[in-house]
Amino acid sequence: MNTPEVTWSGIGFLFVLLLRGFLVLSEFSLVNLRYSDVSEAALAQLRKRGNIAYLLDNLKRAGEIIRIGRKICSLATGGFLFLLIYSLFQNKHVWIAMVLAVVLGVLVQVLLSDLIPRFLAGLNPQKALGTGAWAIFVFWIIGWPFLKIQDYLRGPLKKWTNQESGDALNPLDVEVQLRAMGEDSSALPPMVRQILSQTLQFEDLVVQDILLPRNQVVILDKTKPLQENLDEARQVGHTRYPLCEGDLDHCEGIIHIKDIFRFRGDWDHIHLEKLKRPAISFSTDETLAEVLPKMMRYKVHMALGTDEFGGVVGVVSLEKILETMVGEIQDEFDEEEKLITKCGKDLYRISGLAPLYDVEEELGIPAGGDEDEVSTFGGLLITEFGRIPKGGEEITFRGMQVRVVEADAKLVHMAEVQKLKNPLPENGARA
User: CATH number for the domain including 233?
Assistant: 3.10.580.10
246, 314: one domain: yes
- Position 309 scores a pLDDT of 85
388, 299: one domain: no
The model carries a pTM of 0.45
CATH number, domain with residue 399 = 3.30.465.10
Q: Would 20 be classed as within a structural domain?
A: yes
Are 34 and 62 within 8 A, CB to CB?
Answer: no
For 10, other C-beta atoms within 10 Å of its C-beta total: 16
- Position 220 scores a pLDDT of 92
88, 38: one domain: yes
Q: Would 200 be classed as within a structural domain?
A: yes
54, 133: one domain: yes
349, 387: one domain: yes
Q: Indicate the helix (H) or strand (E) that contains 240.
A: strand 240-245
- Position 174 scores a pLDDT of 52
Per-residue pLDDT of the chain (431 residues; tens, 9 = 90+): 567 777 888 888 888 888 888 888 888 888 777 666 566 777 777 778 777 888 777 777 888 888 888 888 888 888 888 888 877 777 777 778 788 878 887 888 888 888 888 888 878 888 888 888 888 888 888 878 887 887 777 767 766 755 544 444 455 555 555 555 544 445 556 667 667 767 766 777 888 888 888 888 889 999 888 888 888 888 888 889 999 998 899 999 999 988 888 888 777 778 888 889 999 999 988 988 889 989 998 889 999 999 888 889 999 999 888 888 877 666 655 555 678 888 888 899 998 888 888 888 888 877 655 444 567 888 888 888 888 898 899 999 888 899 999 888 777 889 999 988 765 555 555 55
Q: Would 396 be classed as within a structural domain?
A: yes
37, 100: one domain: yes
Q: Would 334 be classed as within a structural domain?
A: no
Residue 352 burial by Cβ neighbours in a 10 Å radius (0-12, 13-18, 19+): buried
Q: How many domains does the chain have?
A: 4
What's the rounded Cα separation, in Å, for the pair 112 and 123?
Answer: 16
49, 184: one domain: no
Contacts with 307 (C-beta within 8 Å, 6 or more apart), sequence order:
283, 284, 313
Q: Indicate the helix (H) or strand (E) that contains 71.
A: helix 59-88
195, 237: one domain: no
295, 385: one domain: no
321, 225: one domain: yes
- The residue range of the domain holding 359 is 340-419
Q: Would 427 be classed as within a structural domain?
A: no
